[in-house]
Amino acid sequence: MVFLAIAVPVPLRKTFHYTHTEPVAIGARVLVSFANRELVGIVVECQSDSAVLEAAEQINLAKLKAITSVLDAQGIFSEQWLGLLTWASSYYQHPIGEVLQTALPSALRKSISSAPKPQQVIQLNDTLQALNVRGNDVTQTVDFIALKRAPKQYALACYVAGHTQGDQQSVNVVGINKAQLRQEFGTPAINALVKKDIFVETSHVPTTGSWFTQTGAAHFQAIAGLSANVEQSIAITGINSQLGQFGCFLLEGITGSGKTEVYLQVINQVLQRGQQVLILVPEIGLTPQTVSRFAARFGISVGVLHSGLSDNERLAVWQQARLNQIGLVIGTRSAVFTPLPELGMIIIDEEHDDSFKQQDGLRYHARDVAIMLAQRQKIPIILGTATPVLETLQRAISGKFQHFVLAKRAGDAAIAPVNLIDICQQPLTYGLAPTTIEVMQSHLAQGNQVLLFINRRGFAPAVVCQQCGHVEDCRACDKPMTYHKAQARLVCHQCLAQAPAPHRCSACGATELMTQGVGTEQLEQGLAELFPQYSTIRIDSDSMRGKQTLANTIEQINQREHQILLGTQILAKGHHFAHVTCVVIMDVDGALFSADFRAPEKLSQLITQISGRAGRADKPGETFLQTTQPGHPLLQDLVNNGYGHFARFALHEREQAQLPPYSFQAVFRAEDENPQRAIQVLQYAKQLLSNMSNISTVGPVPCLIEKKQARYRYMLIIQSPYRDLRQKVLATIVDDCNEYANKLRVRWSIDVDNIDFN
C-alpha cells in the first residue's frame, strides 16, 4: 500500500491524501472521489513509509480513502515541471490544485487517456515501397501505369510515392497520415487503392523518437541567416557563449533593429545541440507570418499554442512537445507551462506586453514564470523589446540581467521623430486638428500611407441628452456606454452589457440626444468625408474578427490597396508597414493624469511602439501626437530624448518614491454588491498586517474600476522593500483572509506583482 499526496482542482491551498495498492508515478493523473464528486487530480508525492507521513502531516492514515483509478502509467508532468508549478502556487499564493489545472491542457482535465492516439497511416505495398525507398521511379511500374485510367487514384498514388521516398537510413518512411490524405483526395480513392492492394493501411503510434533524431542530426541544417551587423554580433556571441547555463539577457532594440534575426541565430545553436526552444509572444503578435518566419529558417515543424486552438489541437501540440517530438514551440502566455524535457532556451518577444500577465485565477506573469523556469533548468532566457518595462530595465542596469542594445535599424532606416500638435482652442474635425489634416494631406499626396491611432472603439464613447445632460450609463458599472452606430446599440466596454440605441433620454424622455467624443467608427466616416479620394481601412476588434482577416488586411495594406489605416492597439503590435510615413496619435492625454503610477510608462511604450510602425531607409517617417498638454515634462522628455532616456529618468523617480521595482507590491481586491462588506474584508487583512515592520499598506480604497457588473470593487495595496518578507507575510495571512471572506461571502483575490490597479 502507498500513500499519495494529490493536487485536486479545488480552491483549497493544500494537497489531499489518498491510498493505492501499488506505487503511482509522480505527475500522473488519478481519479479520486472528493466531496461526493469524481475529480481528476495529480500525484505530487508517493510515500510507502506511513511513519514518515504521520510524523510530517499529522494525519489519520486509517481514515484515508483509496483513489478510484490511475489515468496515466507515467507522469505527464516531470518532477522538474511539478517543481515549477509548486513554486508558482506558493509565489502567487494560489491553490496548487488550481495551478496544475491551469497548466494542464483542457482535454486532459477530463478522465481521458493521455497516451498518444494511434493514427491510420497509408503506405505503398511492400514491393512498391522497397523500390520507392531505393530511389526507383515506381510510376513506371505496371501497377501505376494501369492506374492512369483513374486520374484521381493515379494522382493519389503518385503523391504517396513522392512523399515516402528516401534513402534506407531515413527513419521517416512511415507512410502518410490518412486523415491528411482524406482531406485532399477523398475517402473513395484511398479505399479503392487499398482494395487493389497498391496501398496498405496500418495503424501507427506516433514514434517516440525525438524531433532531432527524426530530422536526423546530420540533416538538420538551418538556412543561412543574414550577416549580422556589429550590434547584433555582440549580442549573438554573448548569448552563444553562455548556452547550457542560466543567464537572463535583455535585448533592447528599437523596432526594425533586427532582434528577430538575433533570436534566429542563437536558436540555431540551441537546435544544433538537439535541444528545444520556447518562444513566447504577445496574443496579437502570433500571426501565421511570425510562425512561418521561424519554420522557414529551420525547416522543422513548429508547435503553435494560442487561445484560438480547439482542445484537441492544443493537446496534440502539448503531447508532441512533452515527448520531445518538436524542437520549437511558439505560443502565447500559457505556453510557458508546456513541459519541454530538452528545453535549451526561452525567448520572450515584446516582453513589455501586458498580455503576458494573467488577470484572473492564477494571476501569473509569463515572463517571470519563464525566468524562474530558465533558472531551474539552467538555460538562457532572452527578453526582447524596444521598450523594456522599468522592472526589467532596472535589473539590466544593476547587472542582474545582461544587457544588449540594438540602437540602429538594420538597413539604416531612421526612426520616425515624434512631433507634438497643440490642440487647445483648435477647431477639431472628427477629433483632428487643422495642422493634422494638413500633414496627412501632404503625405498622402506623395503616394504614402498614413496611420491613425485612436484607442476608442465604436462611434462615440458617450450619448448625452441635450435637454437635461443625462448620460446613458451602464447600470451595472456606472460608466457611460459606447455608441456603436453600425449595430445601433450601446455597449458597455467594461462588462460588455448591451442595449438598443435609445431614441429618448432615459431620464427626461427628450428626443434630442447627441453623442460626445470620437471613436474609430465615427473617425472612419469622417476620413471618408475629409479624404474622399483615398481608401481608409479600420482595424479594431469589431472590424477584425478571426486571425485570417487581420493577416489578409495587413497583406492588402502592404499591397497599397488602402492609404489611410485607422485602428486601435492592434496596430501598435508587431506589424511593420513599409509605406507608412506618417503616424498620428489621438487622444492619449488621459494617461497623463491617471492615478496609476505606471500610466506614464505605459503611455511612453505605446507612443514609441506605434511610431515604430513607420519609416524605412528611403522613406523616413514622422509621428504626430495631438495633445492639450504640449508642455508636459513627460511628453517633452519622450519627444526630445526617446524612450530609453524617459525610462531611466522614470526609474530615478520610482527610486525616490520607493515604488516598484525599488519595492514589492501585492494587491488584495474584494468585490461585492455591498461596498461595506468588500471594505470589511480588506480592513480585516489590513489589521492582520498592522504593526509588521517593513510592511506598509494603502487602503482600502476603490479600485480604478470602481464598479463592475453591479459589484463595488475595493483594494488594499501591500508594499515592502523586501520581496522575501512580502512573500512570508502573505503566506501567513492568506488562509485567515480566505476564511474571513468566505464567511462574509465576498469575492476576493490576491495579485502578487500586480501590473495595474484596475
- Residues at the site binding Zn ion, with contacts judged by CB under 5 A: 474, 476-477, 492, 494-495, 497
Among 410, 490, 610, 625, binds ligand ADP (CB under 6 A): 410
- Please list, in sequence order, all residues whose beta carbon lies within 8 angstroms of the beta carbon of residue 13, skipping any fewer than 6 positions away: 89, 93, 94, 95, 96, 734, 735, 738
CA dist., res. 35 & res. 39, Å (int): 9
Under rule CB under 6 A, residue 613 binds ligand ADP: no
Give the nearest distance from C-beta 297 to ligand ADP in angstroms.
11
Residue 270's identity, in one-letter code, is: V
Instruction: State yes or no: cis peptide before 661, omega within 30 of 0.
Output: yes
Q: Choose among Zn ion, ligand ADP, none what residue 256 binds, the Cβ cut-off being 5 to 8 Å by kind.
A: ligand ADP
Q: Which CB sits closer to ligand ADP, 255 or 275?
A: 255
What is the dihedral sign for C-alpha 166, 168, 172, 176? positive
Give the nearest distance from C-beta 537 to ligand ADP in angstroms.
22
Q: Which CB sits closer to ligand ADP, 135 or 411?
A: 411
Q: Which CB sits closer to ligand ADP, 133 or 228?
A: 228
> 567-580 as b/e, with b when 16 or more CB fall inside 10 Å?
bbbbbbbbbebbbb
Under rule CB under 6 A, residue 558 binds ligand ADP: no
Binding segment (CB under 6 A) for ligand ADP, from list 82-90, 198-206, 253-261, 275-283: 253-261
Q: Which CB sits closer to Zn ion, 333 or 707?
A: 707
Among 129, 153, 215, 232, binds ligand ADP (CB under 6 A): 232
Give the nearest distance from C-beta 451 to ligand ADP in angstroms.
16
Q: Which CB sits closer to Zn ion, 100 or 492?
A: 492
Q: Choose among ligand ADP, Zn ion, none what residue 228 binds, the Cβ cut-off being 5 to 8 Å by kind.
A: ligand ADP
- Give the residue from 681, 742, 669, 740 showing the smallest Cα distance to 706: 669
Among 1, 145, 226, 657, binds ligand ADP (CB under 6 A): 226
- Please list, in sequence order, all residues whose beta carbon lies within 8 angstroms of the beta carbon of residue 249, skipping any fewer than 6 positions away: 235, 238, 239, 380, 381, 382, 383, 401, 402, 403, 404
Under rule CB under 6 A, residue 407 binds ligand ADP: no
Instruction: Name the CA radius of gyration of the chain, rounded.
Output: 30
Give the nearest distance from C-beta 574 to ligand ADP in angstroms.
8
* Cβ(210)–Cβ(274) below 8 Å: yes
Strands (E), 53-198: 69-70, 119-124, 176-177
Specify the pairing of strand 176-177 against strand 119-124: antiparallel
Q: Which CB sits closer to ligand ADP, 362 or 406?
A: 406
Q: Choose among Zn ion, ligand ADP, none what residue 477 binds, the Cβ cut-off being 5 to 8 Å by kind.
A: Zn ion
Q: Which CB sits closer to Zn ion, 131 or 476?
A: 476
Give the nearest distance from C-beta 277 to ligand ADP in angstroms.
16
- Give the residue from 757, 752, 727, 743 showing the smallest Cα distance to 684: 743
Q: Choose among Zn ion, ligand ADP, none what residue 271 binds, the Cβ cut-off being 5 to 8 Å by kind.
A: none
Strands (E), 375-494: 380-385, 402-406, 418-422, 449-453, 462-465, 473-474, 479-480, 482-484, 489-491
Under rule CB under 6 A, residue 699 binds ligand ADP: no
- Give the residue from 516, 507, 426, 501 showing the smallest Cα distance to 468: 507
Q: Which CB sits closer to ligand ADP, 279 or 666?
A: 279
Under rule CB under 6 A, residue 605 binds ligand ADP: no
Binding segment (CB under 6 A) for ligand ADP, from list 22-30, 250-258, 497-505, 629-637: 250-258
Under rule CB under 6 A, residue 260 binds ligand ADP: yes
Give the nearest distance from C-beta 673 to Zn ion in angstroms.
14
C-alpha grid cell for residue 428?
Answer: 477639431
Q: Choose among Zn ion, ligand ADP, none what residue 229 binds, the Cβ cut-off being 5 to 8 Å by kind.
A: ligand ADP
Under rule CB under 6 A, residue 261 binds ligand ADP: yes
Q: Choose among ligand ADP, Zn ion, none what residue 492 binds, the Cβ cut-off being 5 to 8 Å by kind.
A: Zn ion
Q: If DSSP codes are grouped into helix, strand and coil, which group holds residue 721? A: coil
Q: Using alpha carbons, list the distances in angstroms from residue 588 to 426, 454, 594, 599, 603.
A: 17, 8, 11, 11, 8
Q: Choose among Zn ion, ligand ADP, none what residue 232 binds, the Cβ cut-off being 5 to 8 Å by kind.
A: ligand ADP
Under rule CB under 6 A, residue 721 binds ligand ADP: no
Residue 389 backbone phi and psi in degrees, to 5: -70, 155
* Cβ(597)–Cβ(465) below 8 Å: no
Residue 10 backbone phi and psi in degrees, to 5: -135, 155
